[in-house]
A and B are shown apart, each in its own frame.
Chain A
């Protein structure tokens, strides 16, 4: 066992010999997290909106005011010509247009239930759907307020539905995107560092020729790999807490679960990513190849982890395929622990699947890594 100690000490000496390495390990991830944490958001805000108020009555102006008083919409222009509106949307000047017809105010007071038209750029279907939802909400609120102020508008009263949906959001009451996305980004950073560094450090020794020298020493394969990988496990673990801590200082997010549980899960997850690193090192012949292979794997891990795209939205075949993606499990686990404060009993299924997968990846990689040259 003392041989492993010498391996680990040597690895740490090499890692911290270059100052760039410290930056790569601890400063780069924090920068990435800060930038991406703000950038990666699925909140739809500041939708650019053109107003076509053809009525220009007191009521129509009230509606326009309601739209300008929210940060959901930014009114970027006023235009009554439908053709011009079409061109503006085509030129990316606006994402949506709200058209209030002639005599809207008069018809509304008479209870004729006039229409208001909304034209939305459907290119980004998600944002389009969300903006229609917002607009509907603003108009409904306005209509209800009108009904309360002027009870004689009995017709409007009838318009309110018999069945009312009362919404109650759980876990992330303010629908803050960061609360959901930042833990996901932490997973991505952790994966890159642990997988890439372990792969590169093994391939580098092979490239330089020192791996051959290690192979003629009495170090067993286990000692050699443990000595090489333990430092990266430890460093990735420290990095995890650095980024986790920084995230909570910078973003308005709250960690509701147990740190001990999250650490244990992170530890289990790192086995799979470091295992992948070893696997890459057994395939790649140079550091360059290792880098490309890592990115090949990384894109699949990332896009099929549920970070951006919910796994439930994917075709069934690909949903089944994500069961082989270790990042999928840790992504779900960290979000559960972070948001819901889930205890281990809720994470059981994800945990055993991730552990099984990790054990398999690690075992296959270690078996592929031979103490012989090819």
Chain B
């Protein structure tokens, strides 16, 4: 597979007069955990939706897994897993039924569905709950299950849109350990978050403000170049427009 997982060039999306994403240019390599940071409404979700083929860009170029977002959105869908901030499993189906369903619509054979279902239930630790309705699960389990369901077809790229919002710190940590395992296995993880401690786990983070990319580097380098001790302070400095550097350097 291509070493470049996601590439965009001046990717722009406007809603009427409002520009949600403004000339976004990024390159994400295979195996990378790429963090997308920004305040609410900064354009993270819009960017991710364009990359998943859910939303057509207004302007600019983008390829995901080597496929063009304008022409080959259906091919992209076979190569990505997507988990949105809204809970994406069916509440009124059991855990087992949900996995069967998502495996089925991704075109997996019944034997493969069965195999991956067992692995997933094992991994999330839901062995005794497979016949339970999904709505009865604690949120942390639900999110891990949703992640697993979005990845039943073993996609090389995973988009996670605020996957841990509303989840307690311990469940968040467990969630991130799964993300790390995925990246170690060569998967590209594209994740948006507004938890700055999570930003520390990313290989590289990009920070968006009002649709524009205002910083892009590894957490270590960002802290160094802004002279801050943690990502929280870097983020606050950046979104408050305290950027001391000239724009060309960004």
Chain A residues engaging chain B, CB cutoff 8 angstroms: 2-3, 5-7, 9-10, 13-14, 17-18, 208-210, 212-220, 372-373
Contact = CB atoms under 8 A, between A and B. Distances in A.
Contacts of B49: 373
Contact of B84 (A6, A14, A212): A212
A7 B54 contact: no
Interface residues of B, number: 30
Interface string B168-198: 0000000000000000000000000000000
B86 A216 contact: no
Nearest to B83: A213
Interface string B61-89: 00000000000001001101010101111
Nearest to B46: A373
B93 A6 contact: no
Contacts of B80: 216
Contact of B106 (A18, A208, A218, A373): A218
Contact of B77 (A3, A7, A216): A216
A210 B97 CA distance: 15
Contact of A218 (B74, B89, B101): B74
B150 interface: yes
A14 B92 contact: yes
B38 interface: no
B77 A10 contact: no
A9 B136 CA distance: 22
A210 B105 contact: no
A335 B196 CA distance: 69
A10 B97 contact: yes
A192 B54 CA distance: 32
Nearest to A18: B92
21 contacts: A2-B104, A3-B105, A10-B90, A10-B93, A13-B97, A17-B93, A209-B88, A210-B90, A212-B54, A212-B84, A213-B82, A213-B84, A213-B89, A215-B54, A216-B77, A216-B82, A218-B74, A218-B105, A218-B107, A220-B74, A372-B55
Contacts of A5: 104
A287 to B, nearest CB: 15
Contacts of A18: 92
Contacts of A217: 77, 102, 105-106
B92 A17 contact: yes
B200 interface: no
A213 B52 CA distance: 11
Contact of A6 (B52, B53, B77, B105): B105
Interface string B99-125: 011111111000000000000000000
Nearest to A374: B55
Contacts of A209: 84, 86-88
Nearest to B86: A209
Contact of B107 (A3, A9, A10, A210): A3
B56 interface: yes
B88 A373 contact: no
Nearest to A17: B92
A216 B74 contact: no
A2 B77 CA distance: 18
B148 to A, nearest CB: 13
A212 B104 contact: no
B245 to A, nearest CB: 36
A372 B56 contact: yes
Interface string B142-169: 0000000010000000000000000000
A213 B54 CA distance: 10
A42 to B, nearest CB: 44
Contacts of B88: 209-210, 212-213
A214 B87 contact: no
Contacts of A212: 54, 84, 86, 88
* Residue of B77, B103, B105, B150 ringed by the most chain A CB atoms within 10 A: B105
A221 to B, nearest CB: 10
Contacts of B87: 208-209
Given A14-B90, A209-B86, A216-B80, A6 B54 contact: no
B54 A372 contact: yes
A215 to B, nearest CB: 6
A73 B143 CA distance: 72
A114 B53 CA distance: 88
B78 A218 contact: yes
Nearest to B113: A6
B182 to A, nearest CB: 17
Interface in B190-240: none
B84 A2 contact: no
A216 B82 CA distance: 7
A17 to B, nearest CB: 5
Contact of A7 (B55, B105, B150): B105
Nearest to B109: A2
The 6 tightest CB contacts between A and B, nearest first, are A6-B104, A209-B86, A213-B88, A216-B82, A10-B101, A217-B105
